[in-house]
Structure 1
Amino acid sequence: MDVQRARQLRSNPTDAERLLWRHLCRRQMHGVRFRRQQPIGPYIVDFISFEAGLIVEIDGGQHQEQVAYDDKRSRWLERQGYRVLRYWNNEVLSNVDAVLTDIGGYLSPPP
């Protein structure tokens, strides 16, 4: 069920997801591999790097009404050992470079 839903989501990305994926696919960010629309436990995450332990979520306007659900979801994912980054659709669409810089900061090895 989750696998079918994930495939459906991969086939119909939002504009923000499509734009960000262009920068995350093919190990373009610090050589780190990302997957998109990946089932993790009871959830499907937008983007994940298993090797970096990083999840990137792109939120649309509907997330303003489901803050409690998103918090619960993020806490569960963090308990599984992942760091969860969240960005709004309009952040990605209007300033993808800043979003990429922020994500890159979590992928770079410490100095």
Structure 2
Amino acid sequence: MGLEGGVWQVRGGRGPVGEIVVDEADFPWLHGTFTPGPGFAGVQDLFARELALADDEDWEAWEEVHDEIHRQVSLISPDGPVPEFLLHIEGDRAWFRWSDEPFDKE
């Protein structure tokens, strides 16, 4: 799977949410330029709230927002969908990690 230079897609029920062109790989995180798509407006507030809750260390509320992000969007690698991910979007930057297996919920 290509990392730097790879194009990852964020998709949602309302259409393409955006694309991330990876420009930095800092295991386990990938960072890149985010270009919003037509569906981003529908989830933009969720991503802003997720970051604010993380800054406030309100992990219970953060978990609820994170789960809602998962219900509304999917992350597609250059090789296809990934089953589990943690994605942050702020302005024209995105950073994320992913797993080929679902995260342990315990």
Q: What's the TM-score once normalised by structure 1's chain length? A: 0.27
Larger RCO of the pair (alpha carbons < 8 Å, separation 6+): 2
More strand by share: 2
More helix by share: 1
